[in-house]
Chains A and B, each alone.
Chain A
């Protein structure tokens, strides 16, 4: 029983990160129909933004800076690399995100090297004991900030005019353009939100473990699994998907071996694509012609 609760608690904060990265995929995909391969590296860029800011700012402010810097990187990427290719097919746009991801990763490596980085937690103190299982205070912050980000996103999409316009683009870009929605502005907002969510949550995680420049690739793949589980459409289910993946990963590391945990997850990604591409949702996102 203790191990089960400990497993769930550990998975909660890891899952929040996977879920947040998944949400970053979903927000961009809903708007543009493309998959942004650079999501993981953008999140890492945000985490390093927080690392730099933590030298002069308190942790919570540094984390916010992390979110903002990831959003900036994401928006700059959209305008420099993707917007010029808007007339090309989705395949070319997808390939270009892969190139951007490599550029971000190696650019960060040139600046920071390959070593681990960390900064102080938001609240000091020992781990909190919950039903005989321990969770660090920073991990609680990770979960709290993910939930806040989720609530804000949900309110944005359901309550505000801009959010509704963004959803309209998701349903039919052409029609949205015809009724006067500026697609470039909407894409900019989508990329900013995507970067911000991924960056802020990963930055919050930094104090409880550490961050390296190479982390983005694996994180991006795991976030992608969460996005599939959310049907590439539903933000709530994507977060739930992230939690599920974290449980599978932690379980595999516990019962099989840590070295095979990632292999199992990526194998799961392939199996999921083959047998249940719609994830936890009921309907498959079909090709928009």
Chain B
């Protein structure tokens, strides 16, 4: 019943689309379910059916908490909405069972939308408390309202009728529940490899980087929360049609915590955790029921069970945060690594492919000249201004990090922004990319006003960026990390990411093709299957560049891309920037390596104390006395023995210069 794992099988270099036998897993699953149901006998089939519902609910929780990293306890409420919805609609209003299931799920989805949108703006634990309150409110309402039958509950629910067959026996429950679990599990596994699943994991890993890739975070979170609500609600409907009676107790906070324990025990990172966890918890509960009365007496079972549940939650999180499924996965990897012949994939490729460029003894400046000779460039004035920022100001409390800076980049131009530490360079990039909102000033892309728009909107207008410290996503390999950057190159939504429609498969293949091409271009293809965060700083920075480029940006902002690169890699990066310029991309690069800056830039803008000191060609800037002063400090003109010389005097120099050449001077 295991999904064929093809990640480890040797694949031809350059193909990242994972091909397996898509039929084998589902067939095995169905066979296993049918065999268990027909051989287990009524008692174990019934027990198994109950475990199936819990696994179903845990799948919903793993989507929200495991995939998107949002801690929600709403499962109790949505489970209850499904159960009470089905009960009320079929018994009180005489609706057919299936219609009631759909209607209840729609109500759950609506509640999730209404609650999710505002709550996902807030910090994570507000969602936890909000959803905890939601579950408690639902429980209290069910307990106190007349329509829900108060503490007595609602009875007389008819069995579910599917295609003319009444689902009444425990083996039928078992088959129905576990086939549904199998379907949702399959969808979850597909989702985790598809466009929207990658987006969710990116959000979990690093929200700013996810937003920079064009992912609408609030929308993604709300949609997965809604999907989870629908799953929980269907679980509740199944419960109602199998127990044929609903009362408030199973839908309170205890159930939500049971499901949480299942997800934690099994492992949040993989949907398999829901299945493993549900079975493990049931086995554990049965053993406690068998053993505890002998130790503590009959009365202690309830409290003792809860005590073990609570302690289990704590111990698992401390010892093994990825749960049983994670531990099994690690074990499988360990076994595989010791099998002969299969480790070639990771070890086989060279770590750095030293091309002719890197071997070359030419200096960067000479390389640049040789490169320029090969590419005919349009006259600088002719190209359109892609990104234009006017009078940007950013204050953090009393500190003015960026003070009236204007930037403009034309298509096909490489602009380097340099300046001493604390000059406001990274803040400027954050203002341009929408990661920070400016205190004053405007940003236009292609003439369209972008000020105050969120980062993902700017990404949708063709702006792409990297970060000063690499922001990669936990638990994602290089290929998947770069594929996050291709988010905007696809349209497949949450549902189609989970279902293999021909269009979705085609699109995914196209995205993977883009990723492969980009990794090949940057010489990173041999790292495709490696965990991105385990690589060196230099590689991480290059992966970020690949992630930024695969979105086919019009504007590319690079924040210190040279950190961690060796000389040969810097040369390659310089040539890459020149090539990107030649392709018509507007590139803004922040860098401290002056040789790199002077070789790669068409224009250099010098920042000092948050303001523009000088803008010009590399040669002009290098010759400018004020720039040299800003970097090296100047000898005191009027000696002031008590003052900290460097700071005071460079500040003075900066202000004199600002009078001479107005900021944002654009040549």
Residue ranges of A at the interface with B (Cβ–Cβ < 8 Å): 34-35, 37, 80-81, 84-85, 88-92, 94-96, 98-107, 109-110, 217, 221, 224, 257, 259-260, 262-263, 266-267, 269-270, 273-275, 277, 284-287, 289
Looking across the interface, which residue of chain B has its beta carbon closest to that of A218? B136
Within 8 A of A (CB), among B119-145: 119, 122-126, 128-130, 132-134, 136-137, 140-141, 143-144
Among A80, A269, A275, A285, which residue has its beta carbon within 8 angstroms of that of B130? A269
List 18 other contacts, CB 8 Å, given A106-B309, A217-B253, A269-B129. Answer: A80-B314, A88-B317, A92-B321, A94-B128, A95-B260, A96-B314, A98-B313, A100-B310, A106-B304, A110-B303, A224-B129, A257-B144, A259-B140, A262-B140, A270-B134, A274-B119, A277-B122, A285-B123
Closest to A267 in B: B137
Q: Which 6 A-B pairs have CB atoms at the shortest separation, nearest pair first?
A: A99-B313, A103-B310, A102-B310, A106-B306, A109-B303, A106-B307
Minimum Cβ distance to chain A for residue B331 (Å): 22
B71 contacts A266, CB within 8 Å?
Answer: no
Find chain A residues with CB under 8 A from B309 CB: 99, 102, 106
A103–B128 alpha-carbon span in the complex (Å)? 19
In the complex formed, the residue of A with least CB distance to B305 is A106
Bound Cα distance from A164 to B260, whole angstroms: 38
CB of A91 within 8 A of CB of B123, answer no
In-complex Cβ contact of A96 among B124, B136, B296, B317 (8 A) = B317
A99-B313, A102-B309, A110-B304 in contact; A270/B126 too (CB < 8 A)? Answer: no
Inter-chain contacts of B327 with A (CB < 8 A): none
B318 engages A81 (CB within 8 Å): yes
A184 to B312, CA, bound (A): 25
| B103 close to chain A: CB less than 8 A | no
Contact assessment for A102 and B144 in the assembled complex, using a CB-CB cutoff below 8 Å: no
A186 to B310, CA, bound (A): 26
Partner of B311, one of A85, A99, A269: A99
A270 in contact with B128 (CB, 8 Å): no
Instruction: Tell me, yes or no, whether B69 is within 8 Å of chain A by CB.
Output: yes
A102 and B133 CA atoms in complex are apart in Å by 17
**C-alpha gap A103/B315 in the complex (Å):** 11
Whether B137 lies near A270 (C-beta < 8 A) is: yes
Q: How far is the CA of A101 from the CA of B253 in the complex (A)?
A: 13
Q: Is the CB of A81 within 8 A of B314?
A: yes
Residues of B within 8 A of A284 (CB): 122
How far, in angstroms, from A84 to B319 measured CA to CA in the complex? 9
Contact of B208 with A by CB under 8 A: yes
Q: In whole angstroms, how far apart are the Cα atoms of A98 and B316 in the complex?
A: 13
How long is the Cα–Cα vector from A217 to B129 in the complex, in angstroms? 12
B136 contacts A221, C-beta separation under 8 Å: yes
A94-B125, A94-B128 known; A259+B144 contact, CB < 8 A: yes
Interface residues of B (CB under 8 A from A): 65, 69-71, 115, 118-119, 122-126, 128-130, 132-134, 136-137, 140-141, 143-144, 208, 253, 257, 260, 264, 296, 300, 302-307, 309-314, 317-318, 321
Contacts of A102 in B (CB 8 A): 257, 306-307, 309-310, 313
Interchain CB contact under 8 A, B311 and A88: no
Contact B307 A35 (CB under 8 A): no
Given A91-B69, A263-B137, A274-B119, is A35 in contact with B311 using a C-beta cutoff of 8 Å? Answer: no
Bound together, the chains give a CA A94 to CA B318 distance in angstroms of: 13
In the complex, what distance in Å separates the CA atom of A84 from the CA atom of B302? 29
Complex contact A263–B144 (CB within 8 A): yes
CB pair B133–A266 under 8 Å, yes or no, is yes
* CB-defined contacts of B129 to chain A, threshold 8 Å: 35, 221, 224, 269, 273
Contact B317 A92 (CB under 8 A): yes
Known contacts: A99-B313, A103-B307, A273-B130. The answer to whether A266 contacts B123 by CB under 8 A is no
Cβ–Cβ < 8 Å partners of B304 in chain A: 106, 110
How far, in whole Å, are A284 and B126 apart by their CA atoms in the complex? 12
- Give the distance in Å from the alpha carbon of A96 to the alpha carbon of B137 in the complex: 23
B123 to chain A: closest residue by CB: A287
- Write 26 A-B pairs (CB below 8 A) sorted by A numbering: A35-B129, A80-B314, A81-B314, A90-B125, A91-B71, A91-B124, A94-B71, A94-B125, A95-B71, A98-B313, A100-B310, A102-B309, A105-B310, A106-B304, A106-B306, A106-B307, A109-B302, A221-B132, A224-B129, A259-B143, A262-B140, A269-B129, A273-B118, A273-B122, A277-B122, A284-B122
- Bound Cα distance from A106 to B309, whole angstroms: 10
| B137 and A110 contacting across the interface, CB-CB below 8 Å | no
| Shortest beta-carbon distance from A271 to chain B in Å | 10
User: How far is it, in angstroms, between the C-alpha of A101 and the C-alpha of B306 when the chains are bound?
Assistant: 10
* A81 / chain B contacts, CB cutoff of 8 Å: 314, 318
Residue from the set A91, A92, A104 with the largest chain B CB neighbour count within 10 Å: A91
Residue of A nearest to B314 (CB): A99
CB distance from A265 to the nearest CB of B (A): 9
The residues of A that contact B313 with a CB separation of less than 8 Å are: 95-96, 98-99, 102
Q: A35-B125, A266-B136, A270-B133 are in contact. Are A100 and B300 (CB under 8 A)?
A: no
Instruction: List residues of chain A with CB within 8 A of the CB of B130.
Output: 269-270, 273-274
Partner of A101, one of B128, B303, B310, B317: B310
* Contact partner, A94, options B124, B133, B137, B314, Cβ 8 Å: B124
CB distance from A42 to the nearest CB of B (A): 13
Report how far A280 CA is from B141 CA in the complex, Å: 28
B119, B132, B143, B144, most chain A CB atoms within 10 A: B132
B contact residues around A260 at 8 Å (CB): 140, 144
| Given A85-B318, A100-B314; A274-B115 close (CB under 8 Å) | yes
Bound-complex Cα distance A85 to B137 (A): 31
Contact check, B69 vs A99: say whether CB atoms are below 8 A apart: no
| Max count, chain A CB within 10 A of own CB: residue among B122, B125, B318 | B125
Which residue of chain A has the shortest Cβ distance to B69 in the bound complex? A91
Residues in B with CB closer than 8 Å to A286 are: 123
Contact among B71, B115, B317 with A85 in the assembled complex (CB-CB below 8 Å)? B317
The residue in chain A whose Cβ has the minimal distance to the Cβ of B317 is A96
Contact of B300 among A37, A90, A110, A217 (CB under 8 A): A110
Check if B125 sits within 8 Å of A107, measured CB to CB: no
Q: A34 CA to B71 CA in the complex, in Å?
A: 13
Return chain B residues, CB-CB under 8 Å to A110.
Answer: 296, 300, 303-304, 307
CA of A275 to CA of B114, assembled, Å: 12
Q: Are A273 and B136 in contact (CB under 8 A)?
A: no
Residue numbers in A under 8 Å from B143 (CB-CB)? 259
What's the nearest-Cβ distance from chain A to residue B205, in Å?
10
Query: Are A106 and B126 in contact, with the CB atoms below 8 A?
Result: no
Q: How far is the CA of A37 from the CA of B137 in the complex (A)?
A: 18
Which residue of A has the minimal Cβ distance to B70? A91
Q: Which chain A residue lies CB-closest to B119?
A: A273
The residue in chain B whose Cβ has the minimal distance to the Cβ of A263 is B140
Distance to closest chain B CB from A67 (angstroms): 24
Residues of chain B within 8 A (CB-CB) of A263 are 137, 140-141, 144
Query: Could you tell me the distance in whole angstroms from the C-beta of B546 to the nearest C-beta in chain A?
Result: 24
List, in ascending order, chain B residues with CB within 8 A of A90's CB: 124-125
CA gap between A286 and B121 in the complex, in Å? 10
Nearest chain A CB to B144 CB, angstrom units: 5
Q: Are B137 and A98 in contact (CB under 8 A)?
A: no
Set B69, B132, B303, B310: member contacting A89, Cβ < 8 A:
B69
Give the shortest distance, in Å, between A175 (CB) and chain B (any CB): 14
Q: In the complex, A94→B264 CA distance in Å?
A: 13
Complex Cα–Cα for A217 and B143 (A): 17
- Nearest to A277 among chain B residues (CB) is B122
Q: How far is the CB of B582 from chain A (nearest CB, A)?
A: 36
